[in-house]
Structure 1
Amino acid sequence: MTSLARDWLRPERPDLPELVGDEAERRRIKIEILIVFGITLGLSGARSLLSLLDSLLQPTPLSQQHVALNAPQAALNLIDLLAQLLSVVQLVGWGALGAYLLVRAGVRLRSVGLGWRGRDVLWGAGLAALIGIPGLALYFIGWKLGFNLAVSPSTLSDTWWRPVVLTLSAFGNAFAEEVLVVGYLLTRLRQLAFRENTGLFAAAVLRGSYHLYQGFGGFVGNLIMGLVFGRVWQRTNRLWPLVVAHTILDVVSFVGYALLKGHLSWLP
């Protein structure tokens, strides 16, 4: 095995952040992780598991059941717009919570890759292309084989603000997930002396868990995405490219679906 392959498959733990040896502090970090994910994406994972169980208990096959990622939240357009925007604020708030807790713990945001660089956009676009095409193929294969529900990225009505809200939602999802599951969680697990591969797998399973409502394919696809994104971060220490890539993937999915629905017969 070449040194480059070894560095990517079995990377060494970096010198920073420093290991936390004090037992009281370690216990506080563990409790903090449980609280953070107990009110954010971990809770979403538990709800997604229940949603999948409910779908499996239905007489209708998974592939004939539908789930919408961005659905109306109110009957009146103005109220729906405000509700959609509040959902975006919540997602950004989740990510900001993880970033804030790292700062409170003495971790500089630049050290976890939240210092902006212009080339992050190019890195993100390349990563989106790497993940997006195989991910789309995996979804359709899983759907056709009956492992996935028919996922509608958007069922919002055709209003002037729909593309704006969908783009903001894409960024909100990306910021919350990448900051919490990659930047925050992997940093905290490093402080607790988790090995790089162990922390990576735990974060990837968490990412897959809150997509279980889409079916088994949604879990597997996002597990793979988590392994790739997490390893890229571990090797490059850059978080913004992941946020950019995730945003691009969701914008293409959300806005593209809204524009093409009804024009392509094979879309669910």
Structure 2
Amino acid sequence: MTTPPARLRDWLAPVAPASPAVVTDRRERRLIGLEIAVVLTVTLGLSALRSALSLLEALLNPAPLAAQQVTLNAPASTDTWIDLAFQLVRALQLAGWGALAAYLLLRAGFALRTVGLDGRRPGRDALHSAGLAALIGIPGLGLYLIGRLAGITPDVAPSTLTDVWWRIPVLLLSAAANSWAEEVVMIGYLLTRFRQLGWSENRSALVAAVLRGCYHLYQGIGAFVGNLVMGLVFARYWQRTNRLWPLVGAHLLIDIVAFVGYALLVDVLPF
């Protein structure tokens, strides 16, 4: 078995360029663990539980999984204005999840620049966002198609919003809210807290990636695998660079292509 090139080995090796000091006080460690549990309970951890239950319900459905459909952005009311209000509230909730995680880091003494939420290098961050989006998005689409052919992935409709004037702005807002909430909570907050507890970088990345995969289980096993891989790549990128904006940007691009692209091209898409 050949060994990977030195440069690739260096990149794959976990390095924490700005690791916080490991907390040794038992009471403080318990409080950090409790805080993590509370944050996950009210945000993406609860989503993971709901997602697992949704998959279980789909598997118990007499219809095969491949014949079922899940929708990512669905109407919430038959009234146009009430529906718009529901969509905005959902985006506000996601924005609040990310803001909560950022606030708790600030309260713990971490400036947001220490997790990569600053404007020091917008050009490079944007380039990295585009590269990461291509690296994750293109194989992810292929994995989805393979899952559909194998019958283990339901039909995922990124949007079934009606063709009203606010549809595209809301889909853009939804993409922004999703990317902000997931990356700030799962990467910036969670991995920082794991470092304080003295977890290894590999263990931290794996736990965060598995959780990311779990709250996408409602989209099928293929989505779990794809998001698990995405979580591992994003976690290692952050562990190597301590830059969070490129991950938020990459996630944003992936969701924009999925949400807006589907809404505009649904009538001509072959899948």
**Percent of matched pairs sharing the same residue:** 60
Once residues 191 and 4 of structure 1 are traced to their aligned partners in structure 2, the CA distance between those partners, rounded to angstroms, is 28
Is the counterpart of residue 32 in structure 1 residue 35 in structure 2?
Answer: yes
For structure 1, which segment, 120-129 or 239-248, has the greater mean C-alpha deviation from structure 2 after superposition?
120-129
TM-score of the pair, normalised by structure 2 = 0.96
Quick one: which amino acid aligns to residue 115 of structure 2? Answer: V
For the 8 Å contact 2:17–2:242, the answer to whether it is kept is no
Q: How many Å separate the matches in 1 of 2:206 and 2:7? A: 20
2: CA distance, partners of 1:12 / 1:153: 36
Is residue 2:87 matched to residue 1:57?
A: no
Q: Which runs of 5+ in 1 are unaligned?
A: none
- Structure 2 SS opposite 1:253: helix
* Counterpart residue number, 1:152: 157
Cα RMSD (Å): 1.1
Q: Provide the rounded CA distance (Å) in 2 between the counterparts of 1:48 and 1:263.
A: 29
In 2, the alpha carbon distance for the partners of 1:49 and 1:239 equals 28
| Alignment correspondent of 1:170 | 175
Q: How does 1:105-254 map to 2 (within 5 A)?
A: 105-116=108-119, 117-119=121-123, 120-254=125-259
TM-score of the two chains, using structure 1 as the length reference: 0.97
**What secondary structure sits across from 2:261 in the alignment?**
helix
Query: Structure 2: any 5+ residue segments left out of the alignment?
Result: none
1:90 and 2:93 correspond: yes
3-state SS in 2 of match to 1:52: helix
Contact 2:208-2:231 within 8 A present in 1 as well: yes
Structure 2 match to 1:73: 76
SS for the counterpart of 1:99 is helix
Matches within 5 A, 1:41-56: 41-56=44-59
2-side partners of 1:156 and 1:165: how far apart?
A: 10
How much has 1:6 moved relative to structure 2? 3.3
**Are the counterparts in 2 of residues 10 and 197 from structure 1 also a CA contact under 8 Å?**
no
Indicate if the aligned counterparts of 1:113 and 1:239 stay in contact, CA closer than 8 A: yes
Check the 8 A contact 2:17/2:240 in 1, yes or no: no
Indicate the residue corresponding to 1:20 in structure 2: 23
